[in-house]
Structure 1
Amino acid sequence: MRFNLWRTMTRKRLILFGLLSAAIACAALTTYWYNRPTTLTFAVGPAGSEAARLIDALRVALIRERSSVRIRLVNSDTPSDSAAKIAREDVDLAIVRSDVSFPATAVALAIWQRNPVVLAAPTSSGIERWTDLSGRTLGVVGRGIGFNSRLIETILREHGVQPASVKIVDVLPWETGDVFRKGLVHALVTIGPVATKPVADAMAGLVRETADGRVSLVPIREAEAIAERVPVLEAAEVVAGSFGSNPPRPAESYPTLSVLHYLVARRSITDAAASELTQQLFTLRPTLATQHPSAFRIEVPETEKGSAVQVHPGALAYLTGEQKSFVELYSDYIYILIFGLSLGGSALAGIIGYFGWGRREPVPGHLPEVLQLLRQARGSDDPELLDEIGSRADDIFVESIESSKLPGFDSSLFSTLMLALDRLNATLADRRRALAMYGEDEDEPDNQSSLAAAPLASAGRG
């Protein structure tokens, strides 16, 4: 019986250990699955550009911070190339211009930068308004020259100037001084942040080749009205002293138009990935700006309903402080899982109970032996055998008491065994009593014969 109890206890321990190990493995697998890094492909370029260097620094920072989102760079030549890649869903992220065909499958995570349109010309040229460009040659500086030229044509039309009346030529930033010195252009347009090197180099070349450095910066006074008519543009302001402070150039702030670069993502990426990337982008922005000052140009997009560019729901949740925890995100699935496990467990238990699968018969222990001893005691007239049966009954009683301290003890079987032992001891007592009475009955006739012989002996002596 002790061996059976030990075997039962060992089996239960093994089952418990197996269930515990399975639970730990499931928890570990679930934790890994939930926390595993999500890699997003990012179309950026051209290689070596300011944006490409900043995105690469962000990639390294995400690895260093052990973020749940990682990025993999995919080379792109132009904004239109990036837009095409994300429209085909070849990549997950890209930087696109608002005036380039905005992908229908993309939503914004952040404003990457604002590119103000700056028209500059030597004061001696007499160009004070955009309408004065008719019949002139205009040099356009900036990456994506084709898009910049189309943007300039749009602004010219908004001013009532036919684009065909203005000759637009491409100018590289470091060629600005030469083209003005040779008289190849009359005015210059830059489209980009005023603090960037291409814009600064272009303006420096213009100032250098202009007599006394006298340069006129031409405003777009109807910028807000034009932005209303052309949604891809927005009104902006060139701050006084943006191109130099001695003397301040411009002398005072003036209005202009701006085109935006957006960091966009495919609609299909998860809210969790979009939220994590947006959070890390704005959290790491100060750190990234120490090596890449352009990081400070990254801005929060408009989160109001009806804005021109839709924001990804995951990014919107972070930007509006409505991020949900894991339990909040998957509470419905958790409740359904708990309900399903409870219902399935009850159904499985019912099926097992109905068919009796896995049911184990209780170990009888010493009970069969006690019943056998009981039969022997009832049919025995041998006092020595009864003594042996009584001694064995005492041993069984002691072993049963010791076994009651072991785990897996069956109290109902113990109660039955005690009843059987009580019955056995009662039977032994009855048999001993019966044998004792039978012995007295055999001795009584001998005593009566002795008493009858005594008077006869007395008469003979007399």
Structure 2
Amino acid sequence: MVRRSAVIVGVYAMIGFLAVAAAAASGWYAFRDAPPTILSVAVGGKGGNVDQLMGEVRDLVATQSKTIRLEIVHTDGSATNARLVADGKAALASVQADIMTAPTVRAVAVVAREHFQLIARRSSGIRSLRDLAGKRLALPPEGTSGNQNFFALAQHHDLPLAEIKVSAGPVNDNFAALERGEIDAIAFVRALRDPATVEVMRRLQQRGDGLFFVPVEQASAIKLVKPYVSESSISQGTYQGYPPVPEQDTPTLAIGINLVAGVKVPDAAVEELTRILFEEQLRLAFRTPLAAGIARPAQNGPSVAIHAGAKAYYDGARPFLLVRYRDEITFMISMLTIAYSGVMMLRLQIRNRRKVRVSAYNDKLIDIASRAQEADDLATLHGCRKDLNLLIQRVMKDFSEERISDQGFHVFSLSWEAVRASIAEAIGEARASGQAGKRVAA
């Protein structure tokens, strides 16, 4: 009995081990150190504010995430960035809010605000937008936000464009032309305290020809035509404290810079990036002040639809397992279900075998009882009793080895006892009948 129990325990232990092994394999599959997802981010020109910010984000992601990595891609501006994401050639990009994007582009976060800035050489005498008549003005390339916003301003203020000597080219080239005195003013859209802008202003101040920030009035009215812009101002001393540059708070327009992602970029990857942007914002701000401007995309007014991964973070619905690892969990549950089914099937097979064995013994018991009933001599009855004793020995051996259930053994024992009593009675009657015959013969 002990040996049979050990075998059964061993079988169950083996099944349990297989179940645990399946669960462990499933866990490893779900939580293994898979290679991180590489997300390319188009940021515009090298050395710009967004490039600097996303460079810091890239470095922080490398230390704070096991699942994603960022790869910076430099381009010629927001329009190109939006096109790269729409075409699937970049996973993410920084795009000015007034740039039209494709339906397959989704917003992740507002990462910065850029300001429309109109700067003139102090010696040019330009103090307002209308003073641009007869002056040389350099704009960013056609199609860029800075170029388009200037013409929107010119239309709103009814500026005499025919009298303004307008040229267009890269902003840094325009700064160089301003330093050389080849132009009188430049207009562009950049974040405040952009490193390149600060350096040019410093050099011009050292040469004794300061810069004047031309105010952009009626921003709230312009917003009616360009809903993506907002009212803002360039605070006194933003670029230099003494003497202050600008000399006083200067009204202007601001444009948000959105971090966008393709709709097919994995939700989990975008959610992880969004988490780092906001939960590590203070750490980012210590690395670059630009991080202080990181914000959730606007909920009111015209806006790009929010990416599902970013929305999951904003809504607080950040399932750790049920969604992110739903396939792995399904696999794990399936393996455990298979293991459990195997255990149940084995138990059923053992139970069925016990029933079959008891049924076979009952058939033999019935056969012995039939032979005993038909016997007409003691020799046959003794043979039936011998078979009956051998049968109970076999049954008891199977019961000790757990091949027969307690219930089956109990039922068989009752039947066996009835047959034994019947054979004993028959033997007693046969002996009595034999002795009576001997007396008669004598």
Task: Report the secondary structure of 2:113's partner residue.
Answer: strand
* Partner of residue 348, structure 2: none
Return the structure number with greater relative CO, CA threshold 8 A, min gap 6: 2
Query: 1:200 Cα deviation (Å)?
Result: 0.4
Q: Are residues 1:419 and 2:417 paired?
A: no
* Partner of residue 207, structure 1: 205
Q: Are residues 1:280 and 2:279 paired?
A: no
Distance 1:397 1:144, change over 3 A: same
Task: Report the secondary structure of 2:356's partner residue.
Answer: coil
Task: Normalising by structure 1, report the TM-score.
Answer: 0.73
Query: 1:171 Cα deviation (Å)?
Result: 7.0
Query: 1:81 Cα deviation (Å)?
Result: 1.6
Structure-to-structure mapping, 1:216-235, within 5 angstroms: 216-235=212-231
Query: 1:390 & 1:150 partners in 2: Cα distance?
Result: 108
Distance 1:210 1:138, change over 3 A: farther
1:435 to 393, 417, 430: 430
Query: 1:243 Cα deviation (Å)?
Result: 1.7
- Whether the 8 Å CA contact 2:113–2:255 is kept in 1: the answer is yes
Query: 1:149 Cα deviation (Å)?
Result: 3.2
* Partner of residue 345, structure 2: none
The one-letter amino acid of 2:132's match is L
Q: Paired residues, what number? A: 416
Query: 2:364 & 2:68 partners in 1: Cα distance?
Result: 71
- Whether the 8 Å CA contact 1:303–1:311 is kept in 2: the answer is no
Distance 1:371 1:60, change over 3 A: farther
Query: 2:193 & 2:53 partners in 1: Cα distance?
Result: 16
* Partner of residue 159, structure 1: 157
- Whether the 8 Å CA contact 2:96–2:256 is kept in 1: the answer is yes
Task: Normalising by structure 2, report the TM-score.
Answer: 0.76
Query: 1:112 Cα deviation (Å)?
Result: 2.1
Q: Are residues 1:245 and 2:241 paired?
A: yes
Query: 2:367 & 2:10 partners in 1: Cα distance?
Result: 30
Identity %: 22
* Partner of residue 80, structure 1: 79
Query: 1:220 Cα deviation (Å)?
Result: 1.1
- Whether the 8 Å CA contact 1:174–1:202 is kept in 2: the answer is no
Query: 1:69 Cα deviation (Å)?
Result: 4.6
The one-letter amino acid of 2:128's match is R
Distance 1:413 1:88, change over 3 A: same
Query: 1:133 Cα deviation (Å)?
Result: 0.6
Query: 2:172 & 2:207 partners in 1: Cα distance?
Result: 14
Query: 1:203 Cα deviation (Å)?
Result: 1.8
Q: Are residues 1:381 and 2:378 paired?
A: yes
Q: Rg bigger for which structure?
A: 1
Query: 1:138 & 1:363 partners in 2: Cα distance?
Result: 104
Please list the CA deviations of residues 222-273 of structure 1 after superposition, one character each: whole Å capped at 9, or x if unmatched. 1221122222432211111112112222333221112332111224446554
Distance 1:145 1:89, change over 3 A: closer
Computed over aligned residues only, the root mean square deviation of the Cα atoms, in angstroms, reads 4.3
Query: 1:154 Cα deviation (Å)?
Result: 2.8
Please list the CA deviations of residues 172-217 of structure 1 after superposition, one character each: whole Å capped at 9, or x if unmatched. 65984x7456531222434312222111012223323335x4x432
Task: Report the secondary structure of 1:362's partner residue.
Answer: helix
Query: 1:164 & 1:78 partners in 2: Cα distance?
Result: 28
Please list the CA deviations of residues 9-48 of structure 1 after superposition, one character each: whole Å capped at 9, or x if unmatched. 877776776667666656765x459x99655443334456
Task: Report the secondary structure of 1:264's partner residue.
Answer: strand
Query: 1:145 Cα deviation (Å)?
Result: 9.2
Query: 1:75 & 1:174 partners in 2: Cα distance?
Result: 18
Query: 1:433 Cα deviation (Å)?
Result: 0.6
